[in-house]
Each structure stands twice: as C-alpha cells, then as structure tokens.
Structure 1
Amino acid sequence: MAEDLHIVTDISKEEQYLSLIPQIKALIVGEDDQIANLANIAAALKEQFRWFWVGFYLVKGDELVLGPFQGPVACTRIKKGKGVCGTSWQQAEILVVPDVDEFPGHIACASASRSEIVLPIFKGNEVIGVLDIDSEYLSHFDNVDAKYLKEIISFINV
C-alpha cells in the first residue's frame, strides 16, 4: 500500500475509525517489525484525529519505556502503577480519564494534556505495553474510542 492515508474528518468519530482501520491493517500487514508497525499506527491515529499526543510505551523490566510516538517530547520511563499509563499496565485494563488533573498521581509530561485514554497491549495474558493518547480538551475520549482503539491494537503482532 502507498504510505498515504485517506483522511476524512467531516464524518462521525465512529465513521472515522471505520475508514481508518482498514488503512492501518494495510500499512502493517506483512511487516514483522514491531517498531515500524507501532510508528505507523501512531502516525495514522495522529493524522486522522489530530490528538495532542499519540504513542506507545513498552514494558522493559519493571518500567514502561517510551516507544514510537507522535507529538511533543514525552516522559521516557514510567514505573508500574504510576500515572495513567502505569496504572493501566498494573490493572491490565483500559483507562479513560476525562480530566487528568483529577487522576491521582497523574504524571504531567506535557501541561497542555487535559484528557487521556490508555489501552494495555497484551501478549497472551501479559501486558507488554500500552497505547497512550492525550488530548488538549477535557472529556475528549469515550467508549467509541476504547472500542476501536482496542481493535486497532489487536492487530499488533508481538
């Protein structure tokens, strides 16, 4: 597939996901390199939705370590149970945070971030990373995002 995305923004959020998902599949099918695939997924999501920050953290030992991302510079390492990402890893569940200032122990990598969604990435039953997305708007993420982002990360071959 050509490395161009067909971006359509004048449709519902759900329709945007439905348009983007086959394009992401086409980008990563046949590519075995995890870093390349994570980079393209982050770029596709950032381009489609224009979120403030989109990226991956990968489990290395007892920390999440920054992986491919799109947006301003980010925290490099996050301990298990710390912040939204570390809590998502520890609890092995999707976290939707409408206001990051209300999240106990939130790690402010960028002061412009106002809401966040974090999805754990599994290999079997083990969390091996997280997809982290930040918005500069309050209450930006919902169950529609959780549903389709979960589908997108299911494509990641680990």
Structure 2
Amino acid sequence: MTGLDLGAEPLPVSSTAEERRQRYEDVQQAIQLVLQGESSWVAAMASVACLLHHAFGYFHWTLPRASLGRPPRLGAASAGCRLYNTSSSPGFYQAGPPGLDTLVIGPYQGHLGCLRIPYGRGVCGAAARSRRTQLVPDVSAFPGYIACASSTKSEIVVPMLEAGASAGPREAPEGGAAFLATAAAPAEEAPQGGTLLAVLDVDSDYPDAFTEVDLEHLERLCAWLGQQSYR
C-alpha cells in the first residue's frame, strides 16, 4: 500500500539525515493514502498523530494544537487528545474561537498536556503568535517555557496555516540554517500572514533531538494539511 511499514521499529534519535528523510517521505505517503476522502478534522489529525507516533522513536509527545481563532469550517471539533509517549508521539493544538487568541488541545496520544495555551506563552504560543516554526534544542533556555512534562528536553512546533499561506521565513542564527528559538531569539516579534488553523507540537525527552530535516518535512506536512478541507 505505502512505503511505510507500520510494523517497523520507530526511527531512533541517532538516525542519519537520509534515514529521517526517507522515513518522512514514507509517512507523508501513508498519510495521504489514509486520508483520501476524509473530511473530519478530528479523524485527520488523530491519524496524522498516530502515524508520526509509530514512525519516530524520539517523538515523546506529539500534538496538534488548535488556535481559538481558527475559521468556522473546522467546526467544533477542537475537543480531543494530545500525543505524548515514551517512544514517539505527535499532536495538534487547534485555533479556538475568533478573538480569544488561545490554542486548544487537539488529537494526541500520551500523558495529559496543557488544555489551553494563550498566544505568546511558551513554545506553542510563540509559534501561534509569530506563525513561525519554533525549533528549540534546549527548552530550559526558552523564555517563558511551559513545562507540561518535566522529562521534555527539546521541542519543535510548526504552525498550520490556511491554504494560500505558509509559515514565514525563519531567520537563520549565526552558525545555523534553521531558526532556533532560544533565550536570545524567541521568534515572537514578527508575525507572518495567514489564518492559523493549528500548531503541530512535538516534544522529545532527548536534548537537541530535532534537525533541519525534521523541520523541513514537518513544515511540508503542515502546509499540505492546511490545503485540505477538514471540518
């Protein structure tokens, strides 16, 4: 059916860039196949979180968070779960009702997470406010970090924008191509255009677990999801 073997071992944090790239391509193919003809926001995000969860061993909490300002076409499906796990877990926070500027927990797997996060607070809030991906190699250095789990060491949060928009370009810190949200550079001050639908939140118990490959492919996945007509 797809290039993804659902019985395969989750990819370890020690995997090479090429191994990660191939796994993401397999997961993307599986997601597109599984979601063919699907219109439900909850079903789609839960399936994405599940497939990511089983594919990567360094995704210890994965969640799509929705913004309380997300468009009506996503309906009232913001209730749901967040993805956490001691192996590999992704999840979403959805954008909530217009004007509240708050993220609401969405489909996930794992231990209990923060139910609501105001824009600008923590890594998820920074991604929501700026519409920029936040790649955080050391969460203890992030200003205003919200510790939902004491075991978390690194995190990546990718905004999902409505079709026609994309996450804004990341400024490259000296010595690195990816935007790194650190104490010296929390990416909150330059919001990008586009209606925020949700953010994909992935935590890891490993320090510096995420690379440019993870960033590139998770952004590509969120861009594709933003083009779909889930309700």
- Tell whether 2:201 aligns with 1:132: yes
CA distance in 2: counterparts of 1:145 and 1:16, whole angstroms: 10
Runs (5+) with no aligned partner, structure 1: none
Q: How do residues 34-113 of structure 1 correspond to structure 2 at under 5 angstroms?
A: 34-50=41-57, 51-54=59-62, 55-60=91-96, 61-113=100-152
2:6 alignment counterpart: 5
CA distance in 1: counterparts of 2:209 and 2:27, whole angstroms: 19
CA drift of 1:71 comes to 2.0
In the alignment of these two chains, the number of paired residues is 157
1:25 alignment counterpart: 32
Larger Rg: 2
Runs (5+) with no aligned partner, structure 2: 63-90, 164-193
1:146 alignment counterpart: 215
CA contact (8 A) 1:25 1:155 kept: no
CA distance in 1: counterparts of 2:101 and 2:135, whole angstroms: 23
What is the DSSP-based 3-state SS (H/G/I as helix, E as strand, rest coil) of the residue aligned with 2:108? Answer: strand
CA contact (8 A) 1:5 1:23 kept: no
CA distance in 2: counterparts of 1:153 and 1:17, whole angstroms: 13
What is the DSSP-based 3-state SS (H/G/I as helix, E as strand, rest coil) of the residue aligned with 1:65? Answer: strand
Matched residue type, 1:67: G
What is the DSSP-based 3-state SS (H/G/I as helix, E as strand, rest coil) of the residue aligned with 2:120? Answer: coil
Give the TM-score, by structure 1 length.
0.92
CA contact (8 A) 1:62 1:80 kept: yes
CA displacement 1:6-32 (0-9 Å, x = unmatched): 536487111111221101111112101
Task: Provide the alpha-carbon RMSD of the alignment.
Answer: 1.9
2:155 alignment counterpart: 116
Matched residue type, 2:38: E
With 25-34 and 147-156 compared, the bigger mean Cα shift is at 147-156
CA distance in 2: counterparts of 1:152 and 1:28, whole angstroms: 13
CA contact (8 A) 1:118 1:133 kept: yes
CA displacement 1:4-59 (0-9 Å, x = unmatched): 83536487111111221101111112101011000000111011003110110011
Matched residue type, 1:52: H
CA distance in 1: counterparts of 2:220 and 2:35, whole angstroms: 14
Identity %: 37
Runs of 4+ in 1 over 2 A off after TM superposition: 4-11
What is the DSSP-based 3-state SS (H/G/I as helix, E as strand, rest coil) of the residue aligned with 1:14? Answer: helix
Matched residue type, 2:20: K
More helix by share: 1
CA contact (8 A) 1:122 1:129 kept: yes
